[in-house]
Every structure is written in C-alpha cells, then in structure tokens.
Structure 1
Amino acid sequence: MNICVINPNYYRSSGVTMAIRRIHEAVQPYGIENHFVSCRYGDEEEDVSWMATDRLEHLALMSGHPRVFWRSVKRLKDLLDAWDIDLIHVHHRRLSMVLTALRPLLRRPVLYSGNLTYGFSAPFWLLSPRRAIAVTHSVRDNILATTRTRNIEILGNPTPFPRQCPAIDLDAVRRRAICVARFVPVKGHATLIEAWALLRDRGIDAELVLVGEGPLRQSLEQKCQALGLGDRVVFRGYVADVRSEYAQSLFAILVSSIEGQGIVTIEAAAAGRASLLTDVDGSRDCLPTERKLPNALPFGDAGALAEALAIWFADPAAVAEEGRAFFDFHQGLNSSKVLGRQYAAAYERSVG
C-alpha cells in the first residue's frame, strides 16, 4: 500500500515530525510505502534525512496566492498518480480541510491525525474528515465535540521500547532532571525555572537539563542568570537523539499548557524514566494509573511544582519505581511493535 504523508513542514524539533518518522519506521514490516509532501511552511530547519529523495516533494499547498496554490494542487494530483497513492495521511488541521475539500479532484481518501485539542472552528466542522486518528482519548473527545467526524481510532505515537525496563544508576543521577521541549510559551519553561529557584531556596541542590531550541531560549537563559541559577540549569540546545540524555537523568518534566500526547513523555518511559506533568489534555492520558508520586500539577503554579519536585528528589528509589510504572504502561500502548501493526491495519480500513 502506498501512502502520501502531507505536513506543513518537517521541522526537526517538532513532535509531529518525530511522530511521522516513527510511524513511517513502525509500518515498514507491513508493506506500507510512504511518500512525503512538505509545504515548507515557516522558516524552521527541517529534517528530511530519513526520507528517500525520490519520495519527497515540496508543494506550496498552504500558499495564500491562488495561482501558486492551484499550481501546487495540480502537481500533487500528478504525483498521486505517479506514486500510485492509495491514501493521503495528513497531520495538520488546516491541511486536512483543504485536502478534504479537494477529495473529488484528488480521488483519494484522506485520513487526518489529530495531535492536539482545539476549540470549535466552523470551517473545520464543515470540512470535517470522514476518518481520523487521535493520539489520545482527550484528542478523540475533542474531535467528537468540535467536528462531524465519528470514525475515529485512538493510536498514539510509536516509540521503540526495549524488552526490559532500563536500570537507573541512582548514585549518578539522583540530583538531575531533564525537560525536552521547544522553547515556546506553551511549554511552561518560565514556571519551571521559577520552581527551580524555589528548590534552591529550600536548600535542594539539583540540576535541570533543558534540551531543545526555539525563540524563547535567550530570554530563558537571562531569567536563569537573574535568578542565580547559572550553575543549576543547563541548556543543551537541539539534540537529535535524546536517549543518552534520559539515561543521565532521574526523571523527566513536561509542564505544558496544552499537549496532544507528549512524545517526549513516551521516550522518557522507554528509558525507564517517569515524567512529572501538568494536569492538561494529552498529558493526563500519559499518566499510568499505578503511579504513587504527586503528578498532574496545575499549569503555571511554580510553588506547586517546586513542592512536587522536592518530594521526587527526596526519594530517588521511589522515582525509579515510578519509572517502571511508566515503562510498563507505555510499552503496552505505544511501543513501535504494537502501533506499527495497528497503523497498518488502520490504513487498510481507511482505503477499504
């Protein structure tokens, strides 16, 4: 089966880009051949190194210029025929509307992947896709509440998991936590840094490793300096493979104001690390029922975050046990082995 995957861009720090790559890798054993279209929307650096060059095209499907847009649509139609495409898989709401409207011309079914929760949009309600994949229950409920789409499957972000939960060297990592996220307001870095200052004021000597890139990096570095955290907060920048970073940390943190399903939380779980999360859609879905440590914190509350962090750092052995709970929970739901088979079956149903 031949799939055409379309996204605004393949920004290297985007969770959606990582999800698309992981789906691509996970369905390979099942006879799925992926072709890719990037709209080159935005100016972020793309990572297309994992795509075959003859299966990648750049088309201005999000252009506001009618002539440019329709030229791109014609090129897309030709490519769908040349690549013998059976299904279009789109991971972006606006593009989903465009491709659903163009379906009579393109003559291929469109499958939409919902990766976030959104408010009601009349255009998206009118041009709702017939079939959708939601990465979590929260996203599915949001699609049901805001669109006419009713054929929705819940399939998360595939992540490679080892057979056994990785061990944690508590002596080496007991004072270090990691946050992997783009430096943008919704990820809550400012609150996290404020919480770290509160930890310091309580006499807790802990290191925070921040992995990522984005427009807020400079202002966040300045905030750390102003709070006297220069020796406690480390900015790693962009890291292509974060597995070694998780291995050097006791636990992960993701304190966003909104998530669909934090792929970094699943990556941390695959490394045997628990994640301290905010009580928001998407992140709630990533919490195992067997957890024992405080979690699901209010967004933007530095005091509550500092209190939870103090409890986690006070008992590294309990954090390691929490990591095993996260590992077991997500290995059964979101491992590449499990989801590769499920995505291939979902593609078959979408075409049928």
Structure 2
Amino acid sequence: MAKQSRHCYEATGSACSASDPAVTRALDRLEKKVLAACPDDATVRATGYGPLMTPATLVAQLEESCTGNAASLAARAFGGPHAASLAAAAPSERTCLLKAHKHTARLLGREFRRRSSCINRVRKGGQCDLIALDGKIAAEAARTTQKISAACKDVVLRDLVALDPNQLVARTQAQARCAVAEGHPSTQPLSLDCGPRPQVSVPPRGQAVQIVLDEATWGTRCALGDPYALWIRLAPDGFPVENIVFHLSGGGFCLTEPDCLATDPKFWFATDDAFPQGGWFDTSRADNPFKDWTLVYLPYCTQDGHTGGGKTSVFSAGTVDRYGGINARTALGYVRDVL
C-alpha cells in the first residue's frame, strides 16, 4: 500500500484514488484473508478481541490501519496530505523526499513484521528474545537513518518537512508500534507505548471524564508549566465508540510580552476547563446528531493555536511554553489508545 501511494504521488502529485486498481486489490486480499481465518463472531472473540468485534468490524479496522498508515507515511515525507513540499521541490529535493518515503516505508514494514512475529510465537506457546528483538529493530533504524542522510546529502531535509532524518525515523518507528497495536488483539510480551496499557485509563461509557496528563509520562505542558488535561465522553453503551467529535478550544494568540500579559487568565490553564454543555456537547437534545457519539474536548492553554512544538518564549515578566501541537497530538493519541 505504501509503495503504491508513493507511485501515485510521484506520478500525479496526489494520493491514490479510492478506486485505484492496486489499492482495491490489496484491500480485497486483506478482506479475503481475514474472513477466511475469522469467519464468525465467535472465532474473532476467541482470539482475544472485545465483545463488540465482528468479522466485518475487524476487516474495517485493519483496512483503516492499512490505508491510514500509508497516508501518514506520505504526509510525513512529502509535506502534508497535499504533498506541498514534493510539489515545490527542486530535482535534488524531490529525489530526497521520494527516497525518504521509500526507506521509512520499508522500516515500518520490517519493524511491524518483527514485532508481529514475536507476538505470534508467544501466542502459540513459544518464546521471544526481547533483547535480541530490540537490538535488531535499533540496528534497522540506524541503517535507515544513514540511507536517508545519504539520499538527502545535498539538501536539508528539515527545511522541506520540518524533520531531520533522525526525527523522521523516530516518527516512523512510533507509527510502526501503533500499527502493531492495531493489528493484534494482544501485544504480549511486548511493552508498547501505543494501544491499551496501564497508563491509559478507559473512562466509563456515556460519562464525561477529565484526563490529566502527567508531563513526565506524556511530555505535555501548559504555557506556565502546569499540567495539560482533556475531556473524553465515550459513546453510550450500544453505540459505536469510533464515531468521534473532536473540539479544539479557541482563545487567540499571544506573540509579544504585552499581548501575553493582556491574555485572559483562563487561557493559561487546562485543568480549570469544564466539559462544555452547549452545541454538539448537549447530549440531552434529541435533534443533536452527535449526542450518541464519542465527544472529545481539548482545552487551550498555550497561546500558540494548538501548534507549538515545545519552544519557550522568554520575556522579562516570565516565560511562555509553546506546547500546543504536542498537547493536541498527544491527546489524539490518548483517545486512539483508549479506543
């Protein structure tokens, strides 16, 4: 899927269409293999999936993982889903981006297969040498970084996609770990930082719950150093939790010291924000089409438009930590892991 995605971007400058023959063939093969191995609900649940999982929903989950991972790889390597960096690239830059995509796609596939093989061996009663596994994965990542650096030796990759080769590889490895969590009902004996795990508490269905993220674990932070928090209300029992509304709170920007000093204090803290009650959050209204969806509210406490990557603005009166992008990305990941 990733290889075909690269071919489409290289040939047309955009993603493959949903009717692309190579894409439909790949998804058809996936569906046939899953349904052959998991023909009924009982078989699916016997493998360890939850009580709501059926053959059809399992196929849908795996197809989404397949297409979503290909899209993420392309967006990361080409400058967003519209491939803005690839479209504007000079010949040497274009070669760099296409090679970077090729090498990271291979890395994702190989890491996924290595981790999956370990899980399958243990599931069948065998053993997996985790130390050896980690060593092989680290070595593969190092080789990939070297290959990307060599392919991009005449350009600055960070100027094209805001990531250097090390960061690009690290993001790809994080994606691979999540792909493993998406593809298996249990990831034992692995300890992954993606998917269900003790650090991710699952709130009760149909109740709004505030989740305060510990900076030491999640790397999140509000502008004045306080903890970041989000609200989650999972869909009520009987309704699909994967139907989600995300709401990012507004609150403007502050760029200069006078701007920041004039900012309403409520926009500096996330834990003080209550779960909204109006609009699509009003679950008491019969005419609200989202009342039985999963509702997620992301407070705003960084004055950077939910885009900050961890820099700090230093003023005479104090500092402002710009973690908005980190907070938003981490919150989205938390919701993904809950589901």
TM range (shorter): under 0.3
Q: Which has the larger radius of gyration?
A: 2
More strand by share: 1
Higher relative contact order (Cα pairs below 8 Å, separated by 6+ residues): 1
The structure with the largest helix share of the pair is 2
TM superposition score normalised by structure 1: 0.23
TM-score (norm 2): 0.24
